Structure formats: structure tokens, C-alpha cells
Amino acid sequence: MRKPEFIYVTYIETTPEKLWEALTNSEFSRRYWWGTEVKSDWKVGSPFALVMNGTTTDVGEVLEVDRPRRLSYTFHHVLSEAARKERPTKVVFNLEPYGKLVKLTLTHEDFEDGSVILDGISKGWPAILSSLKSMLESGTALAIPPSCLGIEGVQ
């Protein structure tokens, strides 16, 4: 049986440097990620956090930084008690030049069996990365109400 993981691929008309900036700069992330700021100094071993309107939703540690090709961090959702009890998972972004485009591959892995966050991240990432693609290509991020994602407990 396949290990539980979530993989998402999208192609974006941009450069690896611009995509890297969008993934690591909180000014950008606020625009496409429901106001979420990605916070880190992006050095291996440094802390990582997602902060949404002043509330820390996820924390982790930077694992790999190979600008502008590969970025990974551990990811631990801290908003609910059930999620806090799970071990941290791992997020990896691969950025590959593809003609005039960039192929972005997100892999979110190392979930516990029966993980309570796997369903939520599987519904969340396509919306976040679709919005990121729109922002980079058209200049306007998407306005997707979180309640439209169908994640249990998200209003």
C-alpha cells in the first residue's frame, strides 16, 4: 500500500526566482494564502511558522534550502489538540525550469496512519497553489472562501 502522502504538480509561467520569492516572502504569501504570513529566515535548522492574522497555525523547522530549486520544512499544525499530538510532517517544494515555465511539485509526506490533518492539507494545497499561480501569471490572487474547501471545522 502507498504511504499516505499528498503530491501536487502545477506549471506556472514565471521564473524559479520569482516563484521562490512567492513561497518564502510573507508579503507575497499574504496575498495568495488567506492572509497567511510565512515566517522564517530560511536557514537550515531555523524555525518556520505560518501566521494567519496574528495567529500561529503551523510551526516547523527548515530542512533544506537550495535556492531556487528545492525548499523543505517540517510542518506541525498547532491549532487543534488532535493535530498537536501528531508527529510533524514534511513539506518539500521542487522548482524545475520547464521551457519558459516552472514546474512546481509539492510533496507533503510522513503522515501518521489515520492522520487528522491529511484531509485538510489535501483540500488546502490545491487552493493555495492555484491562487499562487494566478498571482504570478495575472497579478491577481484568487478569492476562495476557506468555507468552500470542504474541510471539516473550517468556516
Partner 1 sequence: MNIDHFKPAIVYTIYIASTPEKVWQALTSAEFSRKYFSGLAVEAELKVGGAFAVRTPDCSLHIGGEVIECDPPRKLTITWNVNWPGLVEKLGPTLVTYEIEQAGEAVKLTLIQAHDRPISDDILSGGRTGWPAILSSLKSVLETGQALVIKMEPPQRMLAALKQMGIGTP
Contact residues: partner 1, CB under 8 A: 8-13, 98-101, 123, 126-127, 130-131, 133-134, 137-138, 140, 142-145, 148-149
Minimum distance from residue 141 beta carbon to partner 1 (Å) = 9
Q: What's the closest the beta carbon of residue 72 comes to partner 1, in angstroms?
A: 20
Give dist(CA 120, CA 136) in Å, integer. Answer: 24
Least distance (Å) between residue 18 CB and partner 1: 15
Smaller CB separation from partner 1, 43 or 147: 147
With beta carbons less than 8 A apart as the criterion, state whether 112 and 10 touch. Answer: no
| Nearest residue (CB) to partner 1, 85 versus 100 | 100
The SS3 assignment for 85 reads helix
- Looking at residue 6, the DSSP 8-state letter turns out to be E
φ, ψ (nearest 5 deg) of residue 54? 90, -10
Closest distance between partner 1 and the C-beta of residue 109, in Å?
16
DSSP per position, 51-78? EETTEEEEEEEEEEEETTTEEEEEEEE-
Q: Please give the biggest Cα pair distance in the chain.
A: 45
| Between 20 and 34, CB nearer to partner 1 | 34
Closer to partner 1 by CB, 26 or 130: give it. Answer: 130
